Amino acid sequence: MNIKDKVSTFLHDKKMITGILVFISFFVSNKIILFLLGLFGINLYELSNVGRQIGGLIVSLVLPTILVIIYRKTFKDDFKKIKGNFRQYLEVIVPAYIIGIIVMMFSNLFIQLFFRLPIATNEQEIRILFASLPVYIFISAAFIGPLEEELVFRKALKDVFKNKLLYILGSGIIFGSLHVIPSLTNPLELLYIIPYSSLGVCFAYIYAKTDNIWCSVIVHILHNTVMLLIQILTVM
């Protein structure tokens, strides 16, 4: 193996290890932060409503901030590519998102009609929290969450999976599963992995085809923001 091949292998292995560590951090970061706050006698759940929202936003910003620092070169380089490739990116984004949202909507409708299930528990929990912590939930779900999830499920996992098809499917299914399994109350609710995964696959496909993390981040942010605004309008 020549020096060029050794350098290429080293860089790939470094990216893969970083991706694995980033993926693991998604599950433990908040627990570690809350534990450290507890050592100083700070319990977010005992704060006032305003305190809980401010504290929650600060805690939820920690991991995305660290990830942006880790992937700062990717963010900077990909941002420069947007202007010159905007039209080409749209040609990938628009049809991919349309297919993803159609699959999501029809699979949701099928599950609710034929299996007589209510909306996914994850969605119910968000709506309940939104009623009591609106500012925190809106900013977290519309902006912070999409940024964090795209860096974890798209950028990090792309560095782990070598095969493009395996990456797209794996990223989507893992993303969908983690939106359903943690709040599972009925085994049939596993069916909701399908609609959630459809969007995960959509975002992964967009990133794989454009090789620009901003594309999937922006689409994810716009999707979540529109969904939250629709929810707000329906309860007004």
Mean pLDDT confidence for 56-66: 96
131-160: b (≥16 Cβ within 10 Å) or e? eebeebbbbbbbbbbbbbbbbbbbbbbbbb
Q: Indicate the range of 37-41, 74-78, 119-123, 214-218 predicted with least confidence.
A: 119-123
- The model's pTM is 0.92
pLDDT tens, position by position, 106-121: 999 999 999 998 888 8
